[in-house]
Structure 1
Amino acid sequence: MVTVSAEESLDHGVPAPMRRGEVFTIHATRDDRSMITHRILPEIAVAQARQLNDAGWQVHISELGGRAFKPSEFYQLLSYKRIG
C-alpha cells in the first residue's frame, strides 16, 4: 500500500528537515510485507511510524536528503522549529 500526500513547494537554502514542504517517507516491513507511506508533516510521520513500530513492524523514516531515522531517532524530526 502506498499513500501519497499533496506536496508543497520546497524552500531551497534551508537545512533539510526544516524545509517547508519536506516529504518524509515511512518505510515499514514485517514478515514478507512492506509498506511505504509519504507525509509532509514530521509530527504525522512520527506518529504513524511509532504506531507501526508498536504493532511489530520494522520501521524507519527517511527525508528527501536521504537521511534515515530509526525509531530511537524519531525525536530528532520533532526537535526543530517549524517554518511557516
Structure 2
Amino acid sequence: MATIISDHGLEFAEAPATPRRGDIFTIHATRNDQSMVTHRIIPDVAVAQARVLNDAGWRVRISGLGGRQFAPSEFHQLLTFDRIG
C-alpha cells in the first residue's frame, strides 16, 4: 500500500535572501528628529551595524537586493554566516 503525502495546507517559511556580489545594502535609521543613512557592501557588516543602532534605540531597516526592505526581525535573512551567541 502506498502512502500519499501532500503539502496542501502547509505554510513554508520564506526563503532567505541571497546576497550577490556587487549588492549594496543601505541602512536607514531614525530616532527623534535625527536620521542617518549608510551604505555597506558586505551584508554581515550591514546587519551588525543595524543591530547596534537598533539596540541603541534607533528605528532601523536595511534596503537592498533590488529595493527590498528588511526589518530587524528579518535581518537574519541577509546573513551569510549563522550568528553565534
Q: TM-score, normalised by structure 1?
A: 0.72
Aligned counterparts, 1:41-80, within 5 A? 41-78=42-79
Identity score, percent = 71
- Partners of 2:19 and 2:65 within 8 A in 1: no
Q: Equivalents in 2 of 1:18, 1:54: separation in Å?
A: 24
The aligned length equals: 65
* Structure 1: gaps of 5 or more residues: 1-15
RMSD (Å), alpha carbons = 1.6
| Partner residue, 1:4 | none
Q: TM-score, normalised by structure 2?
A: 0.71
Q: Equivalents in 1 of 2:18, 2:64: separation in Å?
A: 7
Deviating 4+ runs (over 4 angstroms):
none
Rg larger in structure: 2
